[in-house]
């Protein structure tokens, strides 16, 4: 809507809802953090376009037994109803050589944000893992 201003506080509500859905392995909840035609770009699989594909991608990730997902806001810039952010992410993934059967992976996500009905959503989200 015209005149709406995207804020960091609104973004953090979306990030918290997304993380809660991720930890609950709720693929539809994760997809609701995206615009209806949002897209997810990941080196772990093909691009996911639209909420149905974003949900399906998350369902695949949940099957891999990833644990202890963490997100941290590193950078935020809002410009009216659009903006961008950089999120640091990490998670424990299965690793038979890890001390407890897991090791931590991490990286950053660059997100293009859109504001709709006073809610910040991911329009485009690109995952970039740290080199291991």
Question: Does some domain include residue 111?
Answer: yes
Query: Does a structural domain hold residue 1?
Result: no
Tally of domains within the chain: 1
- CA neighbor of 76 nearest in space, from 4, 10, 2: 10
Q: What tens digit of pLDDT does each residue of 34-50 get?
A: 999 999 999 988 999 99
pLDDT category at 3 given cuts 50, 70, 90 is low
- Phi, psi (5° rounding) for residue 98? -70, 160
The CATH number that applies at residue 46 is: 3.10.450.50
d(CA 72, CA 127) in angstroms, rounded, equals: 14
Whether residue 64 lies inside any domain: the answer is yes
Residue 40 pairs in a beta bridge with 48, 125
In a domain, 62, yes or no: yes
**2 part of a folded domain:** no
| Pairing mode, strands 34-41 and 119-129 | parallel
Task: Tell me if 3 is assigned to some domain.
Answer: no
Q: Give 41-80 pLDDT, tens digit per residue.
A: 999 889 999 999 999 999 999 998 888 999 999 999 998 8
Using the Cα atoms of residue 115, residue 14, residue 62 and residue 129 in order, give the sign of their dihedral. positive
Residue 77 belongs to a domain: yes
Q: Looking at residues 77-87, what average pLDDT do you find?
A: 94
Range of the domain at 117: 8-129
On the question of pLDDT at 1 being above 60, the answer is no
Separation of alpha carbons 117 and 89, rounded Å: 27
Token reading at 115: 């504001």
């Amino acid at each position: 809507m015209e005149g709406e201003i995207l804020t960091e506080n609104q973004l953090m509500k979306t990030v918290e809802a997304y993380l809660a859905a991720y930890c609950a392995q709720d693929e539809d909840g994760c997809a609701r953090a995206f615009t209806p035609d949002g897209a997810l770009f990941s080196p772990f699989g093909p691009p996911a376009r639209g909420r149905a594909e974003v949900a399906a991608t998350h369902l695949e990730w949940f099957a891999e037994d990833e644990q202890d997902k963490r997100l941290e806001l590193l950078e935020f810039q809002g410009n009216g109803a659009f903006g961008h952010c950089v999120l640091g992410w990490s998670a424990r993934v299965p690793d038979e050589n890890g001390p407890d059967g897991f090791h931590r992976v991490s990286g950053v996500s660059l997100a293009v944000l859109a504001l709709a009905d006073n809610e910040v959503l991911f329009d485009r989200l690109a995952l970039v893992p740290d080199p291991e």
